[in-house]
Amino acid sequence: MGKRSVTVTGSGSASVSPDVVRLDLRVGQEATDVASALSGAAAHVTVVGTVLREHGVAERDIRTIDTNVHQRFHNAGSPVGFTAEQRLGVTVRDLDLVGRILESAASAVGNALLVDGVRLDVADRSDGLRRARDGAFAEARAKAEQYAELSGCRLGDVLEVVESGAVPVAMPLMAMAATRERGAAMPLEGGDLELHAAVTIRWLLA
């Protein structure tokens, strides 16, 4: 007969203060041929990169996510040209600069810039995740102790620990088309974000 055990799941959370903003930017160019679309998109990306650096965004915080070229078609189905796009992932470490960065980039390249996402995040999640896991383990242990008592046993050694989910911080704020209108800078309020963790633990029943 196998050893008796109890398996329970616990969850925990921790509040963290966001200290970075993740931007998902898309820069594109339409043209009648692929070469012109690519060169136009590259020029716009260079301009956007210059704007980012002028606002203090570090090289390590700017990365290319992907680049693509696709053909455009008229409503009747006939080809009318090509669109080249490049997506940039940008980390802004000063929340107060986000609105000015987006406004400046939109003013520089106009409708060639699209903003697919603006997300509040934390640069270092380790402390928040540790606190969330502490809470998850404590909840699981409390459940296990109750089940052990109800079974007329005492809780023994831990036999298995499986983390069943640690939810990363990323609060989506918006997806928008950039505008050239002045005075459209977007203020951000930091607030608090929640980190969540869940764990499944199996204890020996003694």
Give the pLDDT confidence of 65-79 residue by residue, as tens digits. 999 999 989 887 788
Q: Is 106 exposed, middle or buried (0-12, 13-18, 19+ CB in 10 A)?
A: buried
pLDDT tops 50 at residue 180: no
Mean local confidence (pLDDT), 173-197: 58
Mean local confidence (pLDDT), 117-123: 91
Q: Which long-range contacts (CB under 8 A, 24 or more apart) does 34-37 make?
A: 34/69, 34/82, 34/84, 37/69, 37/81, 37/82, 37/83, 37/84
Residue 56: the pLDDT is 95
Residue 75: the pLDDT is 82
**pLDDT tens readout for residues 133-150:** 999 999 999 999 999 999
Cβ distance 36 to 85 under 8 Å? no
Identity of residue 83: T
Structure tokens at 93: 């470490």
Share of the chain above pLDDT 70, in %: 86
The DSSP annotation for 43-63 comes to: HHHHHHHHHHHHTT--GGGEE
Task: Pick the closest to residue 102 from 59, 39, 57, 141 (CA basis).
Answer: 57
Identity of residue 125: R
Strand positions, DSSP E, 33-150: 62-73, 79-92, 113-121
Share of the chain above pLDDT 90, in %: 75
pLDDT tops 70 at residue 172: no
State the average pLDDT for the chain. Answer: 88
* Domains by residue range for the chain, with CATH: 1-19+123-178+193-206 (3.30.110.170), 20-121 (3.30.70.2970)
pLDDT tops 80 at residue 15: yes
pLDDT tops 70 at residue 43: yes
Structure tokens at 158: 């831990």
Structure tokens at 20: 């970075």
Mean local confidence (pLDDT), 30-38: 94
